[in-house]
Amino acid sequence: MLMLVAGRPADAADGATLEVTNPATGDVVDSVPAATAADCDRAVAAARAAQPTWAAVPIHARAAVMDRFLELVARDAEDLARLLSAETGKPIVEARAEIGNIPIAFRAFSEKAKHLYGTVIPPGIEAGQEHHLQLVLREPVGVVVAIIPFNFPCDLFDQKVAPALLAGNAVIVKPSSENPLTLTRLAFLLDEAGVTPGAISVITGSGAVVGAALAGNADVDLITLTGSTEVGIATAKTAAGFLTHVALELGGNDAFLVLADADLELAAEEVIWARMYNGGQVCCASKRFLVHSSVAEEFTAKVVAKVAAIRVGPPDDEASQMGCMVSERAAIAIEEQVEHTRAQGGTVVLGGTRKGAYFEPTVITGVPATADVARDLEIFGPVVPIITFDTVDEAVAIANSSIFGLAGCVFSRDFATAYQVASRLDCGSVVINGASFFRSFEMPFGGYKYSGMGTEGVSSTFEEMTRTKTVVLKNVL
């Protein structure tokens, strides 16, 4: 599968390619170009040239292009879902759900774009300004680079590409080298739908080459990145050399607090959604399970029973509830982290073993609050480490001890207590009586501390992807 550059399919300048494999079978799904820095520069130049033309298209007409894109997505929905499942290892049912989110997101961003009204500062608001009218307008930032990770590529394509294009920007998509195929297909569908040639491009290849080249290009106006904290910091440092704006959604080690009066059946059920969906490869998945000591035994028994019932199998099997990790390398990393947690005092009571790219759903009990996983060790897989506490203050202190602050959740039958705990958690979103794995397209989503900067969602992304201009009609009145 080729890249899309300047409105045309493109190989890498030197002809190099990368194989994309099915992590469940090891079979090659397809290959993509391994882009060079020169390819990135060409895409940026094309985007810079095309952006004014695309920005001149009225917003209602841009929205109409998005509607045509959605018609093409609907036409190819099953093929896209199967491709996403094959290259990512997620169950076909989850892949279909992710493709099904595309129209929800694009329609929401289209409606918001139609209501990005400017504002007026009337005369006389400020002394000495009685005769002046000030018009505050929004304009596109220009060229946007969207760096997208492997775990929810289509959902994050929706969050970044839809508002960027609707705001009148040109967009260059950099997908993960683990699974770039579905996003490449989506970029070509946008081109087919009528986006100005060059205003949508997709560049494939390693992050070390492609990500660095795009971040280091002075003609890029905004980098929106979802990924690891390490990659986010490195990207921000590179972008700082050109004062390029960055929006970062990074790592998380979300705390799942179960208070003494919690509905334990509900909390145990939410663990499955919180930790097992997409094999636990979710930025805002609950990753530290802080449970009051008085209910820890009962909660653990419920969780073990529910986790043990999960059907792990081939991603293309309709009955599979969990597939494999995105790669064997990812599964090995989880295996090492579980062993590290065991060495620090935890007891593996369920799972804990790996077979190729598959990792068993795992429950670890007796994890001390001093263990790395209780603070900053983010296990990106289906692992439930249980840490007990005796007081609410202790639970909040453990939750806030992490360098991360993406999301969190708290379970309690007392709403006032739950709200007080939520207000004390140092993170960007908190769910009461539900898992931290909650992200609607409408909500502003982002983290505190090392979990990122800025937010994205229908309610906030356009603020990141537009610039403010004030036009003053001096002495007009």
Q: Of the residues 283, 284, 324, 409, which is catalytic?
A: 283
Q: Of the residues 94, 98, 178, 249, which is catalytic?
A: 249
What is the identity of the amino acid at 139?
E
Neighbours of 305 (CB within 10 A): 11
Neighbours of 193 (CB within 10 A): 18
Residue 6 CA to its chain's centroid (Å): 26
Sorted by sequence, the CB contacts under 8 Å of residue 188 that are 6+ apart come out as: 4, 9, 202
Q: Which two tokens stand for residue 96?
A: 């279909």
Burial class (CB in 10 A: 0-12, 13-18, 19+), 113: buried
Q: Are 408 and 424 in contact (CB under 8 A)?
A: no
Residue 363's H or E segment, with its range, is: strand 362-365
Q: Are 386 and 409 in contact (CB under 8 A)?
A: no
Q: Are 401 and 374 in contact (CB under 8 A)?
A: yes
- For the CA atoms of 403, 406, 410, 416, what is the dihedral angle to 10 degrees? 100
d(CA 353, CA 192): 45
d(CA 211, CA 145): 9
Cα distances (angstroms) measured from residue 73 to each of 18, 62, 154, 239: 26, 17, 12, 33
Running DSSP on this structure, what letter comes out for residue 272? I
Q: Which two tokens stand for residue 239?
A: 């972008």
40 is annotated as an active-site residue? no
Q: Which two tokens stand for residue 424?
A: 């004390």
Q: CA nearest 302: which of 262, 353, 344?
A: 262
284 is annotated as an active-site residue? no
Sorted by sequence, the CB contacts under 8 Å of residue 405 that are 6+ apart come out as: 252, 426, 427, 428, 447, 448, 449, 450, 451
What is the identity of the amino acid at 410?
V
Q: CA nearest 185: which of 196, 200, 206?
A: 200
Question: Any idea which residues carry the catalytic annotation?
Answer: 249, 283
